[in-house]
Structure formats: C-alpha cells, structure tokens
Structure 1
Amino acid sequence: MSTAVLELTDVTFRRDGNQIIDGISLTVRAGEHWALLGPNGAGKSTLLGFCGALTHPTGGTVRVLGEQLGRVELQKLRRSIGHVNPRHPLRSPLTAHEVALTGLTGTVDTPMRWSPRPSEAAAATEALDAVGMADKAERRWSTLSQGERGRTLIARALITAPRLLLLDEPTTGLDVAAREQLLHTIDALDRTLPDLASVLVTHHLEELPTTTTHALLIADGRTVAAGPAGETITTASISATFDHPVRVGREGGRWSARSPVHQPVG
C-alpha cells in the first residue's frame, strides 16, 4: 500500500459557536486523486484549509506529509504542498514565467530584491512546458485568458515538486473549451508525476478529471460517502449530498449529473 500523504482523523471545526465540520476523516495516499464534492456551504473550503496546512481544526488530528499540524513548522511544510486557486489576486504585470517563479517564494508578487538563480528560471520554464504554456511564457498575466491563467497557476504549484496538489475549483470562470483544456492538463499529471497526490474541490461533476480515483462527499459538514470514485459518485449518494434528486451518468471516464426527466401529467 502506498504512503499516506494526507490524514484527517475525526476532524471538527467550530466558528462563532457554529459547527462547520463535524467528525470527518480522510486518508489520501501517494498517486491518488480525490474529488471533494458538496453543495455551497458544506465545508469544502474549510477542509481544504486543513489539507494545505493553512488552518487548524477545533478537534481531531491532521497529518500532512507525515507531519501533525500543531507540531511542525508550517512554512516549511507548505513548500511541499502545491495550491491552485483560480482567484489568484495578482495585480502586477508579471509574465507567465514570473508567475510560475512565485511558487518558489510562496508570494503573489515577485519579492523585492529577489532574482531567480538560473536553475530556478529553468525550473519555471520546465513547469510551464509541462502544462502547455511554454510558448506563452513571456506573455503578461493581464493578456492571458482564464484558461491560460489556470494552467500557469498549475505550473506555479508544481515548480516546488510538491507531493500534494490542492485544486480549489480550478475551472471557475472558464468556458467549455478552456475547461476541457485545463482538465486535460490535470489528467496529464497522472502520467508525468505518478506519485503526486491531489485533492480537487468542486460542486460540478462535469468538472472532474478522468483520472479521479476517489471521492469524499460532504453535506452540512458531515461525510455522506467516501471511497473509490466509481463506488461513491452514484445517483443515490449525489442526490443525498445535494438534497435533490439527481441522475448520475458516466461516459468516457467523465461524469454528468441531471435531474430525472419527469413525465407530463395527463
């Protein structure tokens, strides 16, 4: 059995007296690709904060890359975690290459008086090439499409050779073509980085890559179902998670969700 990269054990989280997460457990192993599914307000972002060593639970334990939160220096740990957030708050006119380099510094902008070493510049070029952005490396952030920005952010996350990749609704704001290109990029990581573990947050089944191996479904801060994707992403479990009748389909390794067709009365 492969190494556990991420372990959440009976985690809880309360804010202002409200129970946000209630006893969720999750183990992600090297090479596994998990989908974290649930409606808005289910607690997905809070869980992802635990996975990224950004926040601590109120109760339970979190171990990331073998280190327990509360007993490890967080900045060092975070350098081994890649985080892709499509709402990246960049305002400076950086190039795609410069944005990728900020993955090394863990900053949104290029730090003052910091210059990359030749090996670091080469690593940024290699990361951009891996996501199909090598020919746009010198394009300014403001001129990139949303899909190109998404792929650049994946390169930024990969530049530190992380063991864990977190994708927070990575296809937000993309049109169909850009979404498919980004999902193809994510699928390709399974071949180029076979030991990389990932957790992808979404509430749309159509946004799941074909390489998704497992899924955790949550609602109201509790686990509805967890396990291998084919056994977990089902009509019954998705309907329960979203509290609405949904018919789940799968074709060519991709999922879809539709409300059942109602026959007209009379």
Structure 2
Amino acid sequence: MTDVLIHATGVRVTRSGRDLLHDIDLTVRRGEHWALLGPNGAGKSTLLAVLGATAHPTAGHVEVLGSRLGRTDVRELRQRIGHVDPRHRMLSPLTVFETVLTGLTGTTDLMLRWEPSAEQLARAEQHVADVGLAARRDARWPVLSQGERGRALIARALMAEPQLLLLDEPATGLDVAAREHLLETVDALRQRHPQLGSVMVTHHLEDLPASTSHAVLLRDGAAVAQGTSDEVITSSAVSHAFDFPLAIVRSEGRWAARRAA
C-alpha cells in the first residue's frame, strides 16, 4: 500500500480564458496535514476542488488515492474522501446523530428505507463523542451553533472512514472560543487517526491547528512556496504571498500574524 494520497503534477485550471491555477505540483502522504494559504482569489478553493475530485484540471495530471482523474469513476472516489465544508446545505432539521449518519450515504438527508447496521450506529455514536457533542446528540441542526455544526460535519466526514480529509475554511464564522474548540477537535482526530492525511484551506494563520505539518502558499494561481510548515510559514514567505509586510510568530505550535514594524 502506497503512502501517497495525492500526486499532482503540472496542474492548470483555466476558466473563461483565465488561469485560476497554473504549474501546480503537490504530493500529500499519509499522516501529513497540509494548509493551503493565500489571499482571496489566489486559487485555494479551486485547488481543493481538484484534490477532492469535484473539479477537473484543464491540464496536468492528478492522482487521488491511487486513481487518476479523468480515468476513474469520480463518484466512487469521492466516497473515499472526507469533506468538511461549513457551507454544507442541510435540507431537513436533522439531529446531530442523524447528520453524522448521512456521512455513510454521502447525502444531505437520511435515505428512505435505509437502515444502518449496529456497527455503523456504534461508530456514529463514537464519532459524536469524539468531537465533543455527546450531550448534543439529539439537538437539531437549526439550533446548533456554528461551532457545533463544524464539529458535527467533521464527525460526519469520518463515517466513511476516509484516507483523506479536506477542510474548506472550517473556522469560518466562529467566535474565538468556538474556533479553539474546533481546532482542538482537529488536532485530536489527527492523533487518533495517524494514517489520515488532510488538506485545509484558510485565509487566517490563526485558524491553523498546531498539527499542521506542511503548507502551500498561493499567489495569483501559482505556488510561491511549499514544504514543511516551519519552512513555509515564515514572515518573508507569507509577506510575499499576501503582498503585505507581515511578522509571523509561532507560540505553543500555533501561528499568528501582525503587520511588520
């Protein structure tokens, strides 16, 4: 079994005659946790969509979980990838537990005449507990806070036992306390699942979990720096990507940015 989860070479994505991404090379291995960083319009969400097999590159080659995009059934492939998107559309007022169960079917609602097995029910209970929502198990989606929704979506993504987890700005809209709880949850799940690989998109360094091992800095659709987080998330590299003088500090594993003096 290979340890390579994603292997992308020469990726370009063109829309309406404009390159949203170009010359992207990226390899993600088991146990690695990558951050995609950069200003608005840099191409972060476009790259995440390609890596999640929800968009195809205009040029280049992308292999995800050993399957080459363009030569595989992307519907089957997506079932092996966990997606966490705070903009997830919920059509029915499901409970936390029911929401987590929909991760088995990849749907936004419980499927008619579908009955999860006893093992699946037990696994859902465990994931709900692991993200700290056991006391909110039966609370319905409309009354959940944004932070609770984010943690429920992480538990939902884990139900498919993915090898790869993609997180699209999971801290969007959270207050400081909810953000910290969410990031603690992400750090804990990475420790519990050491073979899991992940890619997270964010605009803000403060939203990165301490377990972030690697990073890509994007600017105008190109990777201007990539490698281990300590090599990439530096004052000079981040300042270049954002075209703004920034001082980056790291304390207790977490990053913060401020304007450079």
Which runs of structure 2 are paired with 1:40-59 in the superposition (5 Å)? 40-59=40-59
Residue 121 of structure 1: how far off its partner (Å): 1.8
Residue 119 of structure 1: how far off its partner (Å): 2.2
Residues 39-82 of structure 1 deviation map (CA, whole Å, 9 limit, x = unaligned): 11111111001111111100000100111011111111111100
Residue 97 of structure 1: how far off its partner (Å): 0.5
Which runs of structure 2 are paired with 1:149-160 in the superposition (5 Å)? 149-160=149-160
Residue 113 of structure 1 corresponds to 113
Residue 4 of structure 1 corresponds to 4
One-letter amino acid matched to 2:259: S
Residue 208 of structure 1 corresponds to 208
Residue 198 of structure 1: how far off its partner (Å): 0.4
Q: Matches of 2:116 and 2:3 in 1, distance apart?
A: 33
Q: Matches of 1:14 and 1:72 in 2, distance apart?
A: 22
**Is 1:21 paired with 2:24?**
no
Q: Matches of 1:111 and 1:157 in 2, distance apart?
A: 17
Residue 244 of structure 1 corresponds to 244
Q: Matches of 2:74 and 2:122 in 1, distance apart?
A: 27
Residue 97 of structure 2 corresponds to 97
For normalisation by structure 1, the TM-score amounts to 0.96
Which runs of structure 2 are paired with 1:78-227 in the superposition (5 Å)? 78-227=78-227
Unaligned runs of 5+ in 2: none
Residues 85-118 of structure 1 deviation map (CA, whole Å, 9 limit, x = unaligned): 0011113110000100111111112223323222
Structure 1 moving runs of 4+ over 4 Å: none
Q: Matches of 2:69 and 2:92 in 1, distance apart?
A: 33
Q: Matches of 1:191 and 1:47 in 2, distance apart?
A: 26
Q: How many residues of Structure 1 are paired with residues of Structure 2 in the alignment?
A: 261
Residue 264 of structure 1 corresponds to none
For normalisation by structure 2, the TM-score amounts to 0.97
Q: Matches of 2:119 and 2:212 in 1, distance apart?
A: 33
Residue 19 of structure 1: how far off its partner (Å): 0.8
Q: Matches of 1:203 and 1:4 in 2, distance apart?
A: 26
One-letter amino acid matched to 2:151: R
One-letter amino acid matched to 2:185: T
One-letter amino acid matched to 1:212: T
One-letter amino acid matched to 1:66: G
